[in-house]
Structure 1
Amino acid sequence: MKAVGVIVEYNPFHNGHAYHLQAAKETAQADLVIAVMSGNFLQRGEPALVSKWYRTQMALLNGVDIVLELPYRFATQKAETFANGAVSILDAIGCHSLMFGSESGDISSFMQTVDYLDKNKERFEQNIKKNIKSGVSYPKALSLSFQTLSSPDNILSLDKPNNILGFHYVKSIIQQNSPIIPLTVKRKNADYHDEHFATETIASATSIRKALFTHQEGKSSIEQYVPVATNMLLKEYLAEYGHFHQWENYWSYLRFRLLQMSPEELSEVYEVEEGIEHRLIAAALESTHFKEFMQKIKTKRYTWTRLQRICVHILTNAKKTDMKSTKEIATYLRLLGMTNNGKEYLNKYKSQFALPLVSKLSAYKEKDIVLDIRASRVYSFGVGIQTRERLLHREYKQPPIYIK
């Protein structure tokens, strides 16, 4: 059985994702799709709209055959680390290819760019350090450094979010010496950060979330932008837990953490560097909600995304010693769900997987998975007291979801 891999967040699953899955199976001529999906906290430092279990159901009901969790240690990181973890999981489970969406849509430009930057690595990295010293953020330093190189034809534009991720996917495949074949499809209509609906059927996840939060009662008109199963599950989640997850739900807990920690304790948290701990504490004293807090701590050097990731690590108490590991690749495969087709693949090839397959938490003890458990516990505080226990204990009691 030939498997094509996808790396996703599905926050939530929408029509653009359905198009991506169809293109993945057709282009790769694959028998099934395996998704590596972020858990309850995401790459941009945000809590997922609904839990990983509901997003797993969305995936399985819309064409994915196996859903594996991208561990917290990778899911809440910059693009390079995010890609390393995800690619290592797809490689370990035997994926033939990886399909990702991009603004480019031309896989040859990704291959050429990775090769070009590898040959100019020393000069490129020197330029990055020089730009960071000037006070700009890392993504900006990366873009400026890339622009200073005299690029040949067919080089990728690295100022687009999906191009950047795709670049790191291809780079990770090459660095890990993986046999995975990278494939890309041009993103359809909606840009990644669009806050408004772009067409009659395709919208970004950002614009869908904005509509849902604007109309928390569930009457927002998103039906034309998401599959029927997604719309059903979003309504079900709202009915079961009362509201969707967003940063404001966690503000009181984050503020408590900041105000009861000393600057020295805070500096031990991952990504808290360069004395920003003092700025965080001062802003927490003066802010009444999360957005106000973020506006107070935002600087030219720190992007909004990086600051949100810092906040996630403070909330989950993810320390530098927890997040930094000698291994830059995953150490286990956490199974969240499967279809009949996926079950057949697992039964057939499980003995050949390069990493242990984890379907029961009680059966596996590992440092990284403790972070995943802690993140799920914290995530449960994003809903009301009456329903929190249900979400809190689902991490332990929920077996992999099986869609027949």
Structure 2
Amino acid sequence: MNIVGIIVEYNPLHNGHAHHFAEAKRLAGADAVVAVMSGDFLQRGEPALVDKWARAEMALRLGVDVVLELPVAYAVQPAEWFAYGAVALLDATGVTTHLCFGSEAGALTALLPLAERLAAEPQALRAALAEELATGASYPAAYAAAAARTLGGDAAAARSLLEQPNNSLGLHYLIALRRLRSGIAPATVQRRAAGHGDVAPKDASIASATAVRRLIAGGGRAAAAPYLPPYTAEILTREFAAGRGPVTWESLAAPLFHQLLLAAPEQLAALHEVTEGLEHRIKKTLPRLSQPTVTELLGQLKTKRYTHTKLQRMLLHILLQHPRELLTPEALAQGPGYLRVLGFSEAGQQLLKKMKQTARLPIITRAAELDHPQLALDIRAAAAYANAMPQRQTEELLREYRQAPLRIEDDRPRS
């Protein structure tokens, strides 16, 4: 029985994701699909448009059989640890046979040899990466340059390949498989019609998630409809009408500024990704803002040295009060501590029964079932997200303790 794993954010799920899903099943000859999905906050340090439950429902309506949550400890991290956490979850299920990811390359031919050479994480690569990041390069660009320097003769080809963001993330998936000594077989689907960061559609039916969100922000859900499966549009309509979305960084401005204004510099410095004196830069920037918006704060903080994504992740760690010691490389290398189920299909229910025999981590269906520091961070993150919804509701603030996984039967999701 072939089970293909996919790693997703679905912010929101669009036609390009549907293409990837279909190709992943085809390439793996898969009988079922397990998706590892980021929760309410995403890899680039942003809140999701709608919460993890709505996005898990989108995944189930697409055809995913089991949706697992990627703990926020890994979901809001540079590519290396995002990939490691997600791959570790798939490996820990004990049932996943394949991993399929999107890439610009569309083939593993060039990526696999690079992964083999870089998986050992030579000290030279670490040092080169730190130097490149210090210049203000984005993580994909810095990693590409560092890998090129480390690989020597393969430098030009490696840099050209890894400067493309999906190739870079795919490489980290392959490296994670090697570090975990996983037997999961990798496969890749070529990204088509839309680039990762395209801000406007270039195709009649497929657009990047960035372009879709811009269409929604500028013209409402109708403007994005050509690029969305009908169920995504339906779920977004329902969530927005109920006041559970859209959530943006500005929705989080008040609690973020509360943290920034009250914390002493040394308190900020104790939080994850507040590095290189950024706590002092934040404190000096606050009085200079013409208005207390996250957009202006990011604009004032940004320099060549500190990229927009780095700063967004840092602010998110401040908002969520993530202590540095919980998210050190040594701590993250231990891997996730549980398999949190957000939803499943009828076939997925049978797969979960099998996972109970094969999984190397506890399978949990409610937050109250386990006492774990990573899960405590997830619970806090969900509460912070719910507090930022357009209509704040007590039931949403405390949902983590009551919500059972979503189940889908005959195309009708229910909890």
- CA distance 1:135–1:196, change in 2 (3 Å): closer
Identity level (%)? 39
Alpha-carbon distance in 1 for matches of 2:200, 2:226: 14
Shift of 1:135: 6.0
Shift of 1:137: 5.5
Alpha-carbon distance in 2 for matches of 1:48, 1:177: 32
Question: How high is the TM-score relative to the length of structure 2?
Answer: 0.92
Alpha-carbon distance in 2 for matches of 1:291, 1:152: 37
Give me the CA root mean square deviation.
1.9
Q: Say if 2:141 and 2:162, in contact at 8 Å, map to a contact too.
A: no
Q: 2:371 aligns with which of 365, 389, 404?
A: 365
Q: In structure 2, the residue corresponding to 1:68 is in which secondary structure? A: strand
Structure 1 match to 2:294: 290
Amino acid at match of 1:50: V
Amino acid at match of 1:151: D
Shift of 1:147: 3.8
Identify the range of structure 1 (227-236 vs 243-252) with the bigger mean alpha-carbon deviation: 243-252
Are residues 1:188 and 2:218 paired?
A: no
Structure 2 match to 1:70: 70
Q: Say if 1:137 and 1:300, in contact at 8 Å, map to a contact too.
A: no
Structure 1 match to 2:353: 347
Structure 2 gaps of 5+ residues are 410-415
Structure 1 match to 2:101: 100
Q: In structure 2, the residue corresponding to 1:351 is in which secondary structure? A: helix
Q: In structure 2, the residue corresponding to 1:252 is in which secondary structure? A: helix
Alpha-carbon distance in 1 for matches of 2:26, 2:381: 36
Are residues 1:168 and 2:195 paired?
A: no
| Cα displacement string for residues 356-387 of structure 1 (whole angstroms, at most 9, x for unaligned residues) | 10002222111110000000011012223x44
Are residues 1:322 and 2:326 paired?
A: yes
Q: Say if 1:49 and 1:245, in contact at 8 Å, map to a contact too.
A: yes
Alpha-carbon distance in 2 for matches of 1:133, 1:237: 41
Q: Say if 2:366 and 2:400, in contact at 8 Å, map to a contact too.
A: no
Shift of 1:136: 4.8
Identify the range of structure 1 (124-133 vs 102-111) with the bigger mean alpha-carbon deviation: 124-133
Identify the range of structure 1 (282-291 vs 97-106) with the bigger mean alpha-carbon deviation: 282-291
Structure 2 match to 1:112: 113
Alpha-carbon distance in 2 for matches of 1:119, 1:379: 37
Q: 2:154 aligns with which of 151, 175, 183?
A: 151
Q: Say if 1:191 and 1:204, in contact at 8 Å, map to a contact too.
A: yes
Shift of 1:327: 5.0
Shift of 1:323: 2.3
Structure 1 gaps of 5+ residues are none
Alpha-carbon distance in 2 for matches of 1:400, 1:4: 20
Question: How high is the TM-score relative to the length of structure 1?
Answer: 0.94
Q: 2:243 aligns with which of 231, 241, 244?
A: 241
Alpha-carbon distance in 1 for matches of 2:244, 2:179: 45
Alpha-carbon distance in 2 for matches of 1:375, 1:119: 33
- CA distance 1:68–1:108, change in 2 (3 Å): same
Shift of 1:180: 0.5
Amino acid at match of 2:369: A
Shift of 1:64: 0.7
Are residues 1:304 and 2:293 paired?
A: no
| Cα displacement string for residues 114-144 of structure 1 (whole angstroms, at most 9, x for unaligned residues) | 1243589354444334445556555443232
Are residues 1:380 and 2:382 paired?
A: no
Shift of 1:278: 1.2
Matches within 5 A, 1:240-259: 240-241=242-243, 243-259=245-261
